[in-house]
């Protein structure tokens, strides 16, 4: 999965990546960009992984299909706190 950081705080993205990795997930690209709304984005036809992640995050994430290459965690500038809190509480994935 990828992470898009629209918060302007690189440390916040680093924290999210560290927690996703600690939970057993593989993070690819981390980019900084303007992001309107926090959530989980997925490409067409790949909703299963995104849905799993959204459910694992307790429904804290807005799930949406967009033109991304893979499942992407988007941290918006003004609404990322609930998503970050959910990622912080993410349990480790089963082997």
In a domain, residue 89? The reply is no
Q: In the structure encoding, which two tokens stand for residue 62, read together?
A: 């807005």
In a domain, residue 86? The reply is no
In a domain, residue 6? The reply is yes
Indicate the number of domains in the chain: 1
In a domain, residue 40? The reply is no
Average pLDDT, consecutive stretches of 10 residues, N- to C-terminus, the chain (95 residues): 94 94 93 87 90 82 89 91 88 65
The whole domain housing 9 covers 1-34+46-70
In a domain, residue 22? The reply is yes
Q: How many CA atoms lie within 13 A of 42 on its CB side?
A: 17
State the pLDDT at residue 91: 78
Q: How many CA atoms lie within 13 A of 13 on its CB side?
A: 24
In a domain, residue 77? The reply is no
State the pLDDT at residue 94: 54
In a domain, residue 87? The reply is no
């Amino acid at each position: 999965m990828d992470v898009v950081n629209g918060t302007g705080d690189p440390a916040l993205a680093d924290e999210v990546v560290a927690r996703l990795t600690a939970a057993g997930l593989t993070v690819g690209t981390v980019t900084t960009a303007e992001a309107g709304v926090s959530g989980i984005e997925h490409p067409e036809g790949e909703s299963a992984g995104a849905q799993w992640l959204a459910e694992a995050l307790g429904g804290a994430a807005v799930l949406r299909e967009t033109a991304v290459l893979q499942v992407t965690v988007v941290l918006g500038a003004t609404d990322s706190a609930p998503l970050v809190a959910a990622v912080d509480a993410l349990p480790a994935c089963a082997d």
